[in-house]
Amino acid sequence: MSIKEAKNNLPEELIEILESIYTNGQLDKIYASYIRGRYINFRINTLKANINEVMKELNKNKIKAVNCSFVKNAFIAKGAKERTLRNLESYKEGNIYVQNISSMLPPLFLDLEENLTILDMCAAPGGKSLYVANLINNNATILANDMNEIRRKRLEYNIEKQGASSIIVLGSDGRTIGKRLKNYFDRILLDAPCSGEGIITLKKNKKLLSWNKKKILSHSKMQKKLFDSAYNALKPGGTIVYSTCTINPFENEEIIDYALNKYNDLRLEKIDLDIKNSIRGLTKYKDKNYNEELYKAIRIIPNEYMEGFFVAKLVKRNQ
């Protein structure tokens, strides 16, 4: 599929958003990622795995895995099919977890330490909670919440399989947690439900029908409510990481701008990640101005390796 054909399959309003944000060179990469999809990425789960043993099995199955330089124990399996990975003993044993590298980024900015109480407000199927558990070696209490029962079953299965014994599963509406558990958590990850523009893969001659502007606006409303709840549930001095796998500003910068206007004890901290396929958070979109601090957030541009993501880190002032 050519870029021209890809654009024919995308809604005009989405193209308009993309073209208002990115340069021509960046747009080519985005469209190419929509056409070709992304290489399979995975993480070695060191809660269970011996890295050398996993590498031996990958070599035996002729799977070339390239180490990712900025995410510990993350690999890019160039040329391998997800099905091939799923057939490995390492996969069946929970020694590896298939997850895009972009999706491994938010936990890295949570300032993790041992013995914290951590909430993952929208957690299923668990990629980020599992990574948090791995990073702190199960030495914390992680509440992994998700409102969707079917996705929660997958979350429970993954926790068991990966040996992530520090994770407890909750099934609440995230919007209610702040009222019930006020000032309770040291760290909160809000990986919000979103329109997923960073993970689009187009099929030949098929229009992308799942996207429309109305959905974006309803996601944006939900995200603000989830953020309010996360703010209330966070202890003074605690950290919230907000992330989505979408590109439009209404689900990203607008949520953080809303939060900074509403809560004057919140401040943004800079996400330091030196990778080519990224730009800073937007401080302006068309005629809208967002809080000047928004450059501290990061936008990952989707390419052949990584999904498109937005990540912002906020700290609540100690009283």
Binding residues for ligand SAM (CB under 6 A) = 103, 122-128, 145-148, 151, 173-175, 191, 193
The distance of closest approach from Cβ of residue 144 to ligand SAM in the complex, given in angstroms and rounded to an integer, is: 9
Assigned token pair, 254:
């607008």
User: The dihedral of CA 69, 70, 75, 79: what is its sign?
Assistant: negative
User: Min. distance of Cβ 202 from ligand SAM in angstroms?
Assistant: 20
**CB closer to ligand SAM, 123 vs 181:** 123
Q: Which of 55, 42, 203 is nearest to 127 (CA)?
A: 42
Tokens of 197: 């523009």
Helix (H) or strand (E) holding 168: strand 167-170
Helices (H), 22-109: 24-36, 51-60, 82-86, 89-92, 101-108
DSSP state of 189: E
Comparing CB distances to ligand SAM, the nearer of 128 and 313 is: 128
Q: Which of 222, 251, 66 is nearest to 147 (CA)?
A: 222
Give the residue with the Cβ less far from ligand SAM, 125 or 302: 125
Reference 155, options 175, 171, 135; nearest CA is 171
- Measured from the CB atom, is 63 or 255 closer to ligand SAM? 255
Cα–Cα distance measured from residue 300 to residue 10, given in angstroms and rounded to the nearest whole number: 20
Q: Out of 68, 122, 194, 245, which one is annotated catalytic?
A: 245
Residue 245 among the catalytic residues = yes
> Cβ 152 to ligand SAM, closest distance in Å?
8
For ligand SAM, the closer of residues 63 and 85 by Cβ is: 85
Min. distance of Cβ 218 from ligand SAM in angstroms? Answer: 11
Dihedral of alpha carbons 87, 93, 96, 98, sign = positive
Q: What region does 191 belong to: left with phi over 0, alpha with psi -120 to 50, or beta?
A: beta
Shortest distance in whole angstroms from residue 1 CB to ligand SAM: 27
Catalytic residue ranges: 245
